Structure 1
């Protein structure tokens, strides 16, 4: 009985298109690409554009949740942020989570 099952399964796997087993993997990769990878790359590009456009006077929020205003740009990766009156901290551009717009700051 076991020999006939093994023979039947072996014979079934020999026929057919060998690429048929790859089609589900390709479909799964396509779904992951369009639902996860591509949107993440788009958000990353937008964030990089935001970081490149930062200048003195812009209000920002850091990844730690601290609101502040860029006081002075030191170099292309570092600037001083005023988080309170006469309280200035130096941070990298990578620490900025987003730019605060006038509309956002009015809602708070």
Structure 2
């Protein structure tokens, strides 16, 4: 044996902080990861969801819409939970409001025109 038992016992005691401080030092990186995750991932996603809900809630007659299924059309009637969309001349479908993916206000032009 290279070390006596007394030396081995004292060497381990001086290795790091004890008690509450050691616990804080161990949890600090984990807490930092959660804070960064919240600010980089969760907050922008919640803001985007609020903006999308506000846009869908403000849909009105004459707006151009795109559904989650990719159907494009013009809003002809708005109800509480449903929207009537004209997808071709004299062809109208009822769509659940929450499935609208994009709303373009009346009178706006596409980017490529």
Supply the distance in 1 between the matched residues of 2:66 and 2:14 (Cα, whole angstroms): 64
- What residue number does 2:91 align with? 87
The structure with the larger Rg is: 2
Query: Which digits, 9 at most, give the CA deviation of each residue in 1:46-95, with x for residues without a partner?
Result: 0011011101111011111111001111x211111011111111011111
1:100 offset after TM fit, Å? 2.4
Supply the distance in 2 between the matched residues of 1:54 and 1:42 (Cα, whole angstroms): 19
- What residue number does 1:15 align with? 18
Instruction: Give the CA RMSD over aligned residues.
Output: 2.4
- What residue number does 1:53 align with? 58
User: Normalising by structure 2, what TM-score?
Assistant: 0.77
1:14 offset after TM fit, Å? 6.7
- What residue number does 1:63 align with? 68
1:13 offset after TM fit, Å? 6.4
Supply the distance in 2 between the matched residues of 1:14 and 1:29 (Cα, whole angstroms): 24
Q: For structure 2, which runs of at least 5 residues remain unmatched after alignment?
A: 2-7
Q: Partner of 2:109: helix, strand, or coil?
A: helix
- What residue number does 2:35 align with? 30
Structure showing the higher helix proportion among its residues: 1
Supply the distance in 2 between the matched residues of 1:55 and 1:24 (Cα, whole angstroms): 49
User: Normalising by structure 1, what TM-score?
Assistant: 0.80
How many pairs are equivalent? 102
